[in-house]
Structure 1
Amino acid sequence: MTARIPVLICGGGIAGLTAALLLHREGAAPMLVEKHAGTSPQPKARRFNPRSTEVFRLLGLMDEVERASAPLASFTGMLSGTTLADATWPQVTGSLRERLKQHAKMPDLSPAPSVLCPQDVLEPVLRQAAVERGIAIRFGTELVSFEQDDAGIAAELRPPDGDPYQVSADYLIAADGARSPIRTALGITRSGHGHLADNLDICFRADLGDLIRDKPFNLCRIENPAASGAFVSVNGTDRWLFSTSDFPGSDSLSEDGWRELLRTVVGVPDLEVEVLSRMHWESGMYVADRFSSGRVFLAGDAAHAMPPMAAAGANTAIADVTNLAWKLAAVLSGSATPDLLDSYHAERHPIGYATAEFSSMASGHLGTMLATITSEDAPPVDPLAALFGVQYEDGAFVPDGRGPAPTDRYGPAGRPGTRVPHAWLDATTSTVDLAGPGLALLTGPDNARWSAEADQLGLRLIPVSDEAWLAETELPADGALLLRPDAVVGWHSRSEIPLADALSRLLGTPVEATV
C-alpha cells in the first residue's frame, strides 16, 4: 500500500527544514526528502535578520541558534582595503551614520536579534530539531518524479540504498533550489534581470587571529590587482571565505596557485593556508511567475533566486514557508478551504520580486555589491520599514479602511496584512510570540465583549494591557485584532466587517458566531 502523507517537502536546506518544523508546530505531519546525504557543506547565507529569528523563537530554537551564532557575535563591522592586512574601517559618512542609527533602533521593534550564523552551521541545528521532534526526515533520498491530480500528489522516491518506492501526499513543497526540477517539470517560467555575474567562493582554513584581533569583521571588501572581491568571516578564528569574480582558467589552477592567490589578497606572503573547497555560482535575478501550481508550492530559491547581499534569499525563504505552513495546516485540518492557499502567491510573489530586484541593483562580485550598498548613492531605504512594516497588498486578511502602511518609515499600526508590532508582555514573552499555533484574538484589557465570540469561533483570546502597544496598534481598551500564526494581522476591530464574517473571508469557510 502506498504511504499517504499530508505534505511532502523536497529539499533539506533552510527553506525545507524550516517548513517541516513549522508544519509540525501547526499539527501537520510532513515528510522531507533531500537527495544529498547531508546539509550544505558551504557557509552560503550567514546573516539572519530579526524577522527570521522571530520564527526560530516561535519554534523554540532561539537558544540553539544563539549558541551556533556565538562565534561571530562580535563580528559586525565592514572593512575595505587592498588586502585584509591593510584593510581599515570605512569613513563614517552622514548617510552611513544615519543607517547605523536606524539599525540601532531594531531591538526596540523585535524580541529577537539579528545573528551571523553560517548556513552550514544553522542547517544541522534545524535538522537535529526536526529529528528530535519526530518529523520524517529522509536525507539521501531523491524525488525522482511526481504527478498531481484533484486527489493529491503521487511521487516516486529513490532512497540511498534499495528500490524506488511510491508515496502519495496531499501537497508538495518545492524547496529544491534555484534550478528546481519541480518548477521545471511544472513549466513555470521566471522573470527578472536574469544573469548578472559569474562568481567564485573559496573556503579556506588559516589562523588569522592576530591579523584581525582589533578589527573583527563581518565582510571585508578587497580591491587588488590579483583578485577583487570580499572576505567573509565563517567562524572568526580559522575558517574564512573569499568571494571573487570567476575567471578563465579557474578550474585548472593548481592548489599551490590557489594558496598563493589567497596569500596575496590576505597580505601575508608566508601564510599557512588550506583550501577547503571552491564553489562557482551565478549571481542573478530569477523570480518564478507563479509560486504555486495546483497542489505544488515553490519556496526559497525555487521561487526566487537573487544575489546574496545580506542573505536576502535565505531570509525571504524563511518568510515564504512561515506564510505557507499555517495555511496548509489549516486546510489539512478542515478549518479552511483550499481557497486559502491562493493567498500564498498573492502575498509572497510581490515581496519576493521586490526583494530580488533590490538585491540585484549591483552586479558583479560580493565586493561590488558591498560598495553599492554602503555608498553615499545607496537607495534611501528605511530598514525598519522594510523589515517590520511591510504590508501585503492582497491576501488572507480583511482591510480595515485605513490607508496603506507607510513605506518610508516604520508605522504598520496593526493594519491587517502587516506584522504585529512587538511589545514585551513580561520578561520573556513578546506579542510576536503569541502567533500560533492556530489563530489568536489579541484584545485590549476590556475584553468582555470578545470572550464568548472567541470561544464560539475557536480562537485563543489573549488580553494585552500595554498602553504603548495599544496606542501603536490603534486599539481602544475594548478593541481586538486577529493574529495569524505567521505573526501577521488578519483583522482589526476598527473594520466595519464583524469578526465572524472576517474569519469566514480569511479561511473561505462559513463561520457563525452566536453572541
Structure 2
Amino acid sequence: MNENVDLRVPVLIVGGSLVGLSASLFLGRLGIEHLLVEKHRSTSTHPRGRGNNVRTMEIFRTAGAEQGIREAAEVLADNHGILQAGSLTGDDQKWLFKEIDPGGGLARFSPAGWCLCSQNDLEPVLVKLAREQGGDLRFSTEMQSFDQNGSEVDAALKNRETGEHISVRADYLIAADGPRSPIREQLHIDRTGPGDLFHNVSITFRSRQLADVVGDRRFIVCYLTNPAADGALLPVDNRTEWVFHAPWQPQLGETLEDFTDERCAEHIRTAVGAADIDIEITGKAPWHAAERVAERYASGRVFLAGDSAHEMSPTGAFGSNTGIQDAHNLAWKLATVLRGEAGPGLLDTYEAERLPVAQATSARASARSSEHSHPGYAAAPGVGGGKQGGMLTVALGYRYVRGAVLGADPQQPVVPQGMQLNGRPGSRAPHLWVRQAGDRKSTLDLYERTLVLLTDGEDVTWRRAAARVAARLSLQLQAYGIGPGADLEPENGADWAEIHGTTPEGAVLVRPDGFVAWRSTGSAADAEATLHEVLTTLLHRT
C-alpha cells in the first residue's frame, strides 16, 4: 500500500450517476465524509431512466430531496399510463394501464407517490443537495487503479481535464461504476442470469407536429407495435421534445452507423402512423437490456451498488430504483460502523439483504417486458420467471428474510404475493400519520439518522430501557411513545400497535432505512436486558 497519499476519506464512491449521487446524498445526511469521482464532465444529458417508484420517493423524502425532484419533474406530472398501439392514428390501441395509482389507494401505504423524472433532470438535483450536505463531488475524474488490504483501500485518480494525479486512501469503496464495472472485473466477481435480453438505440428528436398526433393522451411510454417499425415513444416535455427507442440487432451485424438521421426519422413516422410530421434528430445513444446479478456484492472493503451489481430489463423502471435502494441500505450500515456503533459484521448483511432483492426484482422486470411485449424483446423459455406479485408489491413490499433483522422467516419469499406492511421484521415499517409537537408527519419521516424504538405512550418501561442501553453501548437510539398526549399522536385515533403487529405492551425497533429490525409483541421480564441482547446481536457488537 502507498504510504504517501494526497487525501484520506472514510468512503470513496466511484461513479456519479443516479446510484453514486444517491449514495453521496445519503452519506452526507448521516455526517459521513466522502469523495465521489465521475469520469464524465457532467451529469447525464440524455433523457433516460425516468420512473422513480414509491419506495425511492419515500427515501428521497426523508433525505430532503422530494420537493426538488418533483419540481424538476413538473413538466411530466400529468403523464401516467402506458399505451400499446399499432400506431397513434389507427384503431389498434389499448392502455396497458392508464393510471399508476387508480383510486388513490397508495395513500394507505405511503406518504409519497411515484414520480416521473428523467435522469438528466434528477441528477442535477442530487448533485446540488449532496454538495450542500458536504459531499466532495469531482467530475472529469477517473479512478485508474485501486488496491486494498484488511484496513483500507488505496486508489489512484486522474483528472481528465488537467492531467493531475491524486492518490486517495479510504476506509471503504462503493463501486457505482455501471454494468461494465471495471471494479467488479478486478475483483473477479461473476454474474448469473440469462444475460442480454435485447438492444435498442435511444433517439432524441424534436417535432412540433407530433403533439397534435398524440393529442390528450398523456402516457409515460407508448409501445408502438407496427412490425415494419416498432419501438417505444416517450415524451420529454409533451410539446416538442421526444425520445424514441428503436430496436437494434447487433447480433445480425447491424451497426450504430446504420441508424442514419434519415432512417431514424422515417422509422418514427412509420411507427406513429403520421407520414408527414416534422422530425429533427438531435441525438442517439445505444443501450442494452439485460438480466444479470452479481454473485457477490462485496469483496473486502469494496461494495457493489446499482448496475455494477445488477442489470434489469427497463420495463417497470426497476433497475435504477433498486440501485438507489442499494445505496440507501449500504449508507446507514457504513455510517453506523464508521461511528463505532456497530461491528464490521453489519456490513456483511448488505449482500445478504440486497442480492436476493435484485434476483427477485430482475426476474419480475423481465416478466414485465414479456407481458408488455416490449419492442425488440422476445423472451426465451424461462427468462424472467413467473409473475411474482404486482408492481406495487415488488416496489414497496419486498422484505429482508435474513440480514440485519431478528425474527424474520428465512423460508418466506423475498417478494410476497400481496402487500404485507404490517410490522413484520424485515419489511418496510408501516406508514402512519402522526402529530409531533403539532407538526403532521408520517412515521416514515422518523427513520433516517438513528435506530428508532416505538412504544405505547402510556408505558415508559421500554423507553427507559432504551435510554439506558443506548448509553451503555454509546449508540444513537431514539425512543418514541405513541398515543394521545404522547410524543407522537396518531391521527383519527389509529391504533399504532395493531398497525405494527404488536400490542400496547410491546415495542418495535426500526432501522435508519425504515425497515423493521425487531419487534416484541408484548412486555419483557427485563426490558433492558432484552434490548441489550437485541442491539448487540443486530449491530454485531462483541
Q: TM-score higher than 0.5 here?
A: yes
CA contact under 8 A between 1:384 and 1:409: conserved in structure 2? no
Aligned to 1:399: 407
Q: How much does 1:42 deviate?
A: 2.0
Q: 511, 515, 535: which one pairs with 1:503?
A: 535
Matched, 1:410 2:410: no
TM-superposed deviation, 1:393 = 1.6
Of residues 431, 434, 437 in structure 1, which corresponds to 2:449?
437
Q: 1:472 to 1:253 in 2, by over 3 A?
A: closer
Question: For the structure 1 residues 425 and 89, does the alpha-carbon distance in structure 2 shift closer, same or farther, using more than 3 Å as the test?
Answer: farther
* Amino acid in structure 2 at the alignment position of 1:501: E
1:133 equivalent in structure 2 = 133
Contact 1:442 1:461 in 2 (8 A): yes
Cα offset, 1:209, TM superposition? 2.7
Q: Is 1:482 matched up with 2:491?
A: no
The residue matched to 1:39 in structure 2 has which SS? coil
Bigger CA drift: 202-211 or 401-410?
Answer: 401-410
- Offset of residue 31 of structure 1: 0.7
Q: Which amino acid is 1:485 matched to?
A: P
CA contact (8 A) 2:82 2:95 kept: no
The one-letter code sitting in structure 1 at the alignment partner of 2:120 is: D
Instruction: Choose the corresponding residue for 1:72, options 43, 65, 76.
Output: 76
Give distance in 1, aligned partners of 2:76 and 2:43.
Answer: 20
How far the C-alpha of 1:10 sits from its partner, in A, is 0.3
- Out of 351, 356, 361, the position equivalent to 1:345 is 351
Matched residue SS, 2:434: coil
2:176 is aligned to 175
Contact 2:80 2:100 in 1 (8 A): no
Distance 2:31 2:509 in 1: 20
Query: Corresponding residue for 2:374?
Result: 366
- Distance in 2, Cα, partners of 1:320 & 1:299: 6
Could you state the TM-score of these two structures normalised by the residue count of structure 2?
0.87
- C-alpha contact 1:400 1:492 (8 A) present in aligned 2: no
Could you tell me how far apart the structure 1 residues matched to 2:320 and 2:440 are? 27
Give the 3 Å change call, closer, same or farther, for CA 193–378 of structure 1 in structure 2.
closer
User: How far apart, CA to CA, are the structure 2 residues paired with 1:175 and 1:87?
Assistant: 45
- Summarize the Cα distance change of 1:334–1:422 in structure 2 as closer, same or farther, 3 Å threshold: same
Q: Deviations over 1:474-493 (max 9, x none)?
A: 22223221111110011102
Instruction: Report the residue type matching 2:262 in the other structure.
Output: D
Give the whole-Å Cα distance in 1 for the aligned partners of 2:103 and 2:362: 21
Which residue does 1:296 correspond to in 2?
302
CA distance in 1, matches of 2:63, 2:288: 32
Structure 2: distance between partners of 1:56 and 1:270 = 43
Asked if residue 46 in structure 1 is aligned to residue 50 in structure 2, the reply is yes
Q: Which moved more, 1:391-400 or 1:29-38?
A: 391-400
Q: CA RMSD in A?
A: 2.6
After superposition, where does 1:109-508 map in structure 2 within 5 Å?
A: 109-159=109-159, 160-207=161-208, 208-247=210-249, 248-361=254-367, 362=369, 366-367=374-375, 379=387, 381-399=389-407, 404=412, 407-426=416-435, 428-456=440-468, 457=470, 458-465=476-483, 466=490, 467-494=494-521, 498-508=530-540
Contact 2:364 2:387 in 1 (8 A): no
Corresponding position of 2:486 = none
Deviation at 1:404, TM superposition (A): 4.8
Cα distance change of structure 1 residues 249 and 190 upon mapping to structure 2, 3 Å threshold? closer
How many residues are treated as equivalent by the alignment? 502
**Matching residue of 1:513:** none
Task: Determine if contact 1:397/1:489 at 8 Å carries over to the other structure.
Answer: yes
8 Å contact 1:25–1:59 — kept in the other structure? yes
Shift of 1:226: 3.2
- Is the Cα–Cα contact under 8 Å of residues 7 and 172 in structure 1 kept in the other structure? yes
CA displacement 1:233-279 (0-9 Å, x = unmatched): 22222221111210425413432232222222233333222212112
Return the letter of the residue paired with 1:441: L
Considering Cα pairs closer than 8 Å and 6+ residues apart, tell me whether 1 or 2 has the greater RCO: 1
Identity %: 38
Separation in structure 1 between the aligned mates of residue 78 and residue 496 of structure 2, nearest angstrom: 31
Q: CA deviation at 1:334?
A: 0.4
Alpha-carbon shift at residue 368 of structure 1 (Å): 6.2
Question: SS of 2:138's equivalent?
Answer: strand
Moved more, 246-255 or 428-437: 246-255
Task: Answer whether contact 1:231 1:240 (CA < 8 A) is retained.
Answer: yes
Cα separation, partners in 2 of 1:102 and 1:398, compared to 1, 3 Å: farther
Residues 80 and 87 of structure 1 are in contact (CA less than 8 Å); yes or no, is this contact kept in structure 2? no
- After TM superposition, the structure 1 stretch with the greater mean CA deviation from structure 2, 249-258 or 163-172, is 249-258
Bigger shift: residues 325-334 or 223-232: 223-232
* 5+ residue gaps, structure 2: 471-475, 484-489
Tell me how far 1:382 sits from its aligned partner: 3.0
- Structure 2: how far apart are the matches of 1:444 and 1:224? 60
**Residue 506 (structure 1) shift:** 0.8
Distance 2:452 2:515 in 1: 11
Q: Deviations over 1:160-209 (max 9, x none)?
A: 31321201000000000000000001000000111222222111121233
Three-state SS of the structure 2 residue aligned to 1:492 is: strand
1:106 paired with 2:138, answer no
Q: 1:221 to 1:51 in 2, by over 3 A?
A: same
